[in-house]
Amino acid sequence: MQEKTLCRVCGGLVREFVDFGRQPMADAFVEPGQLADDFVYRLAVGVCAVCSMAQLIEEVPNELMFHEEYPYRSSGSAVMRAHFAQIARQFMDRELRGPDPLIVEIGSNDGIMLNTIASAGLRHVGVEPCDNLARLAERNGLSVVNRYFGQETAERIAAEHGSADVIFSANTFSHISDVDGVMRGIDALLSKTGVFVFEDPYLLDIVDQTSFDQIYDEHVYFFAAKSISALAARYGFELVDAERLAVHGGEVRYSIARAGVRPPTPSVQALIAMEDLRGLTDEATLRRFAVNTARRRDELVDVLHGLKARGKTIVGYGATAKSATVLNYCGIGPGLLDFICDSTPAKQGRYTPGSHIPVRAPEHFVEARPDYALMLAWNHASEIMEKESWFTEGGGRWIRYVPEVSLI
Ligand code: TMP
Ligand code: ZN
């Protein structure tokens, strides 16, 4: 019997709908010689019967995930660099027009968004708990606080710099279990008319594409307009805009402001109505997603074993955090994938968590000329397939598993 799980947002009852079993931490790439030490927890997701927030059942302590060896660099993708330059310019055009405005970013990583702000000479503060990333961004001339974001950090920033016109966060809010701390921090730091803008994977895209690999330890929550609207209301805020984004496999950019300060755009009600129509956060819908997930796993495993049986060579492309779930849940190890190539220096020379597949620089992909490549960084597929166009031109084929298992 599972213990009762209570919602981290509202205290309501969380009903579990999918279970991936014991999993390692997704970004804990293993050094050679340490292959036995993967930390494991039970990766399972449920949905709150009261506020509709989908969330992990068990969580991994922050300190084990976000530290000076955290390997992810936001700037590894040209598409993402353009994406964040665009939102930075949008903030400058629309929000940061008063005298000496201030923007704060929660989870500023390597400075992919704040670079544009800093180049324009505007006041900014990045908040980044990973020491390595905070130092890297500082070396690039950004102003960064090397801390977790919460009420205390927010109060410190407000005391030193005054209130923020914009607080931004990309692929970070959904990583923070302590939403109460974040929202108290937003309340302490955001100006009366300011806006908190965040973008994170969208539950509807996950369900529609069966992109079950969006589920891993760092993704504590799977947001929808409905659950974010309820969350905002608990803290005297209001969801005032919700824009669907194509990046990272489908996200929503949510804007929340103090209640009554900004009229909500029609997209807010439209998105919530669509979610209701689809029964997105109904237990039955999410249980169907779990069934589709198991089917997707079986299809992918069949394809890989079939190719291997015919003597084909297969490698993986992109040692993403997401791939930890795919590889471990599907039982894909070094017997199926010779190696995974990835452009991130901090991942190269290490082994994937749990599945223990070697990670190599992309040059090895060119050298190895495999017959097939499993597109693990499927959210960057267009960029990668363009960059590696020689691969299919020379007869190689990509294996996709999102939005379906297919060979390209
Ligand atoms: P992400 O899906 O969490 O952004 O991770 C993408 C991973 O894929 C990251 O480890 C970097 C890697 N990558 C490449 O190796 N080559 C590329 O061209 C891109 C865009 C990403
Ligand atoms: Zn709840």
- Rounded Cα gap, residues 144 and 22, in angstroms: 35
Three-class DSSP labels, the chain: CCCCEECCCCCCEEEEEEEEEEEECCCCCECCCCCCCCCEEEEEEEEECCCCCEEECCCCCHHHHCCCCCCCCHHHCHHHHHHHHHHHHHHHHHCCCCCCCEEEEECCCCCCCHHHHHHCCCEEEEECCCHHHHHHHHHCCCCEECCCCCHHHHHHHHHHHCCEEEEEEECCHHHCCCHHHHHHHHHHHEEEEEEEEEEEEEHHHHHHHCCHHHCCCCCCEEECHHHHHHHHHHCCEEEEEEEEECHHHCEEEEEEEECCCCCCCHHHHHHHHHHHHHCCCCHHHHHHHHHHHHHHHHHHHHHHHHHHHCCCCEEEECCCHHHHHHHHHHCCCCCCCCCEECCCCCCCCCECCCCCCEEECCHHHHHHCCCEEEECCHHHHHHHHHHCHHHHHCCCEEEECCCCCEEC
Rounded to 10 degrees, the C-alpha dihedral 205/210/216/220 comes to 40
**Alpha carbon of 348 to ligand 1 centroid (Å):** 12
> For residue 379, which ligand has an atom nearest its CA?
1
- Rounded Cα gap, residues 83 and 2, in angstroms: 42
Q: Mean of the pLDDT values across residues 82-105?
A: 98
Residue 37 — pLDDT band, cuts 50, 70, 90?
low
> For residue 7, which ligand has an atom nearest its CA?
2
Q: Which mutation among 70, 73, 77, 365 tests ligand 1's pocket best, with the greatest number of atoms within 8 A of CB?
A: 77
Closest residue by CA, ligand 1 atom 3: 320
Please provide the size of the chain in residues: 408
Asked if the model's pLDDT at residue 359 lies above 70, the reply is yes
Q: Mean of the pLDDT values across residues 116-145?
A: 96
Q: Residue 296 corresponds to which tokens in the numbers above?
A: 């997707």
Closest residue by CA, ligand 1 atom 12: 318
Is the distance from CB of 338 to CB of 313 less than 8 angstroms? yes
User: Whose CA is closest to 157, among 108, 216, 228?
Assistant: 108
In this prediction, residue 34 carries a pLDDT of 81
**Alpha carbon of 245 to ligand 1 centroid (Å):** 18
Which tens digits make up the pLDDT trace of 249-306? Answer: 999 999 999 999 999 999 999 999 999 999 999 999 999 999 999 999 999 999 999 9
Q: Is the CB–ligand 1 distance for residue 226 below 6 Å?
A: no
pTM comes to 0.97
Q: Residue 54 corresponds to which tokens in the numbers above?
A: 């989908």
Q: Mean of the pLDDT values across residues 149-166?
A: 98
In this prediction, residue 194 carries a pLDDT of 98
Is the distance from CB of 45 to CB of 56 less than 8 angstroms? yes
Q: Is the CB–ligand 1 distance for residue 320 below 6 Å?
A: yes
Average pLDDT, the chain: 96
> For residue 347, which ligand has an atom nearest its CA?
1
In this prediction, residue 42 carries a pLDDT of 96
Asked if the model's pLDDT at residue 1 lies above 50, the reply is no
**Alpha carbon of 379 to ligand 1 centroid (Å):** 9
Which tens digits make up the pLDDT trace of 375-401? Answer: 999 999 999 999 999 999 999 999 999
Residue 111 — pLDDT band, cuts 50, 70, 90?
very high
Max Cα-Cα span within the chain: 67
Which tens digits make up the pLDDT trace of 232-247? Answer: 999 999 999 999 999 9
Q: Is the CB–ligand 1 distance for residue 384 below 6 Å?
A: yes
Q: Is the CB–ligand 1 distance for residue 377 below 6 Å?
A: yes
Residues with CB under 5 A from ligand 2 (ion): 7, 9-10, 12, 48, 50-51, 53
- Rounded Cα gap, residues 133 and 111, in angstroms: 8
Q: Is the CB–ligand 1 distance for residue 242 below 6 Å?
A: no
**Alpha carbon of 9 to ligand 1 centroid (Å):** 31
Q: Is the CB–ligand 1 distance for residue 241 below 6 Å?
A: no
Is the distance from CB of 327 to CB of 315 less than 8 angstroms? no
What distance lies between CA 236 and its chain's CA centroid?
A: 26
- Rounded Cα gap, residues 124 and 143, in angstroms: 7
Closest residue by CA, ligand 1 atom 5: 320
In this prediction, residue 2 carries a pLDDT of 56
How do 102-106 and 54-56 pair as beta strands?
unpaired
Q: Mean of the pLDDT values across residues 131-137?
A: 95
- Rounded Cα gap, residues 370 and 124, in angstroms: 46
- Rounded Cα gap, residues 41 and 343, in angstroms: 28
**Alpha carbon of 291 to ligand 1 centroid (Å):** 28
Asked if the model's pLDDT at residue 38 lies above 90, the reply is no
Q: Is the CB–ligand 1 distance for residue 77 below 6 Å?
A: yes
Which tens digits make up the pLDDT trace of 10-31? Answer: 999 999 999 999 999 999 999 9
What are the CA-CA distances from residue 293 to residues 26, 203, 288, 300, 401 (Å)? 18, 14, 8, 11, 11
